[in-house]
């Protein structure tokens, strides 16, 4: 039975799922749901996901909502390469930990920045302020210790984080550049204390 995905590719969690399926050659039937047209609130889609949110996955008559649950379902069901969700207990607990934490620490504040239109500079700075502690933690503590967020290889955690943070470049807010600039201000000689 073919998997059915209900996605709007302007949505970061939908993009993460789309990339994951393509990267892992997982066949599926695509059902575009245009949020901008209010299609997520129409009876046709509410029959699929009564919560009116994308992404959503149907496997036969089994509905999975929530991007993290969908990614985990796909990685188990389709036996994706182990690095996406490593079998070792502590490694995949790192991924679980992030997936639970990111909803309030990354997804919600990043979405609020994205939705801050028309852009009001003061409000934008306030909203970015809510995201900054999480970004600093990822940049200065987690990524200072290893090349990827959970392990030495790319995992579901990196994919979700990247998509959520990338969306802000669409509203002219390049968080990667902001972090780089913040590091330059904190350490003007590029981290070297001597000449
Ligand atoms: N925590 C959910 C978020 C789902 C969500 O809020 N999706 C947005 C698009 S990114 C949506 O459908 N918004 C429509 C609405 O809230 O009316 C997930 O990660 O799947």
Question: What CATH code is carried by the domain that includes residue 149?
Answer: 1.20.1050.10
pLDDT over 60 at 195, yes or no:
no
Same domain as 101, residue 21 = no
Determine the distance separating the centroid of ligand 1 and the alpha carbon of 7, expressed in angstroms. 10
Same domain as 118, residue 72 = no
Residue 193 is assigned to a structural domain of this protein: no
Rounded distance, CA 13 to CA 55, Å? 7
Same domain as 110, residue 93 = yes
Give the chain as a DSSP string.
--EEEEE-TTSHHHHHHHHHHHHTT--EEEEE--GGGTGGGSHHHHTT-TT--S-EEEETTEEEESHHHHHHHHHHHTT--GGGS-SSHHHHHHHHHHHHHHIIIIIHHHHHHHT--S--HHHHHHHHHHHHHHHHIIIIIIHHHSSSSSSSS--HHHHHHHHHHHGGGGGT--HHHHHHHHHHHH-TTTT----
Determine the distance separating the centroid of ligand 1 and the alpha carbon of 110, expressed in angstroms. 12
- Choosing from 33, 39, 53 the residue with most ligand 1 atoms within 8 A of its CB, the one to mutate for a pocket test is 53
Residue closest by Cα to atom 12 of ligand 1: 53
Atom of ligand 1 nearest to the CA of 53: 12
pLDDT over 50 at 163, yes or no:
yes
Residue closest by Cα to atom 5 of ligand 1: 53
Helix axes 156-166, 67-77, angle to 10 degrees: 140
Same domain as 71, residue 7 = yes
What is residue 181's predicted lDDT score, i.e. its pLDDT? 64
Range of the domain at 29: 3-80
**Number of structural domains, the chain?**
2
Residue closest by Cα to atom 14 of ligand 1: 53
Rounded distance, CA 41 to CA 38, Å? 6
Rounded distance, CA 38 to CA 42, Å? 7
- Which residues, judged by CB distance below 6 Å to any ligand atom, belong to the binding site of ligand 1? 11, 13, 35, 40, 52-55, 66-67, 103
What is residue 191's predicted lDDT score, i.e. its pLDDT? 41
Residue 91 is assigned to a structural domain of this protein: yes
Residue 191 is assigned to a structural domain of this protein: no
Same domain as 147, residue 134 = yes
From 57, 80, 103, give the residue that closes a domain. Answer: 80
Same domain as 64, residue 44 = yes
Determine the distance separating the centroid of ligand 1 and the alpha carbon of 131, expressed in angstroms. 18
From 30, 61, 80, give the residue that closes a domain. Answer: 80
Q: What does the pLDDT look like over 104-147, one tens digit per residue?
A: 999 999 998 888 776 778 888 888 889 989 999 998 899 999 99
From 45, 80, 115, give the residue that closes a domain. Answer: 80
**Averaged pLDDT score across all residues of the chain:** 89
Determine the distance separating the centroid of ligand 1 and the alpha carbon of 53, expressed in angstroms. 5
What is residue 194's predicted lDDT score, i.e. its pLDDT? 35
Q: What does the pLDDT look like over 27-54, one tens digit per residue?
A: 999 999 999 999 999 999 999 999 999 9
Rounded distance, CA 14 to CA 111, Å? 14
Same domain as 182, residue 120 = yes
CATH of the domain at 25: 3.40.30.10
pLDDT over 80 at 160, yes or no:
yes
């Amino acid at each position: 039975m073919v998997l059915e995905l209900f996605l709007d590719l302007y949505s970061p969690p939908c993009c993460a799922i789309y990339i994951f399926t393509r990267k892992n050659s997982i066949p599926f039937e695509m059902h575009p749901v245009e949020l901008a047209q209010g299609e997520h609130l129409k009876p046709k889609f509410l029959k699929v996901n009564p919560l009116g949110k994308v992404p959503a996955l149907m496997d036969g008559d089994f509905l999975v909502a929530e991007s993290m649950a969908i990614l985990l379902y796909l990685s188990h069901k389709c036996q994706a390469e182990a690095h996406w969700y490593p079998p070792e207990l502590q490694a995949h607990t790192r991924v679980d930990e992030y997936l639970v934490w990111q909803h309030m620490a990354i997804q919600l504040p990043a979405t609020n920045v994205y939705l801050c239109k028309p852009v009001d500079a003061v409000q934008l700075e306030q909203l970015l302020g809510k995201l900054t502690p999480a970004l600093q933690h990822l940049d200065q503590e987690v990524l200072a210790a290893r090349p990827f967020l959970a392990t030495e290889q790319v995992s579901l955690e990196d994919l979700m984080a990247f998509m959520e943070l990338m969306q802000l470049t669409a509203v002219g807010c390049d968080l990667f550049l902001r972090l780089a600039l913040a590091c330059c201000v904190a350490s003007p000689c590029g981290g070297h204390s001597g000449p």
